[in-house]
Structure 1
């Protein structure tokens, strides 16, 4: 093991400058993708916010799959995958703050039923999508060399 590997293993991952840089870069990528989708599919006043709904459900699925795939394999450089893709890309891609603002706008804008349905379905489908992602990601087998260790 190289000396820099040993020192990076001793430091908590959240305190690692390398991990923080990867989270920042990943977050910029995820945010740019989400912003592009939001710009391409803006909701009209009182309409279902499809772009936010889609990114949150898809992002929940992908995060569940990511956690299942990398769980137990976070050694060496692989320990940077979850912060880079999970906290970074998917953290920037999903947006529960925009979701909360959209629910509030629907409720106060007179679309109470739609606002409630959007709020409940977004959370419910997000949880179900994350669970489905864990199931799908849990089915991903490591390469034979990694299994034989």
Structure 2
């Protein structure tokens, strides 16, 4: 009987390599993005971009078939690994702690709610866009006239 996916060395390696690259990308984004007035802009920026990208990634993988072979490898390396390393809810917790420590509980609460709600909307938008792209391609390939409706 084969090992569960999370115990297979190849799966662990895919997640680790993807996570390493995602963490480096997040670090780079933190260097490039400003933090205007002490507002922790890099954290929500990478979290929202990651949530959107995860929706874009997972919707077509789900529609393509069972989670095995190349689809599983892409999900593990890009989704769990890269995007898991890129997004950073631990930094969100640190940002919230810093806002609370600075005596800004209203800002901390707003930041937390906005980040979670915006993250949900970003992942929904990524999923919707991927599904829309798939539908347009399917409509274009069957209609032959380039009009998806």
Q: Is this a same-fold pair by TM over 0.5?
A: yes
Instruction: Tell me the equivalent position of 1:64.
Output: 55
Structure 1 unaligned regions, length at least 5: 1-6, 145-149
Stretch of structure 1 that moved more, 47-56 or 90-99: 47-56
Query: In structure 2, what is the equivalent of residue 84 of structure 1?
Result: 77
Q: Deviations over 1:87-124 (max 9, x none)?
A: 10000000000101101110121222222221110011
How far off is 1:66 after superposition?
A: 1.2
> In structure 2, what is the equivalent of residue 52 of structure 1?
43
CA deviations over 1:56-113 (Å, ceiling 9, x no partner): 0110111122111101433322221101001100000000001011011101212222
Contact 1:48–1:114 under 8 Å retained in 2: no
1:19-38 equivalent positions in 2, closer than 5 A: 19-38=11-30
Contact 1:48 1:118 in 2 (8 A): no
SS at match of 2:103: coil
Sort the Cα spacing of 1:52 and 1:21 in 2 relative to 1 into closer, same or farther, 3 A. same
Q: CA deviation at 1:42?
A: 5.4
- CA distance in 1: counterparts of 2:68 and 2:32, whole angstroms: 39
1:16 Cα deviation from its structure 2 partner: 2.0
Gaps of 5+ in 2: 139-149
What is the TM-score with the length of structure 1 in the denominator? 0.80
Change (3 A) 1:66 1:24: same
CA distance in 2, matches of 1:63, 1:77: 17
Q: How far apart are 1:43 and its partner, in Å?
A: 3.2
Instruction: Give the aligned CA root-mean-square deviation in angstroms.
Output: 2.3
Using structure 2 for the length normalisation, give the TM-score.
Answer: 0.80
**1:13-70 superposed Cα distances (whole Å, 9 cap, x missing partner):** 22221111111110010000101111233537x6221110100011011112211110
Identify the range of structure 1 (113-122 vs 97-106) with the bigger mean alpha-carbon deviation: 113-122
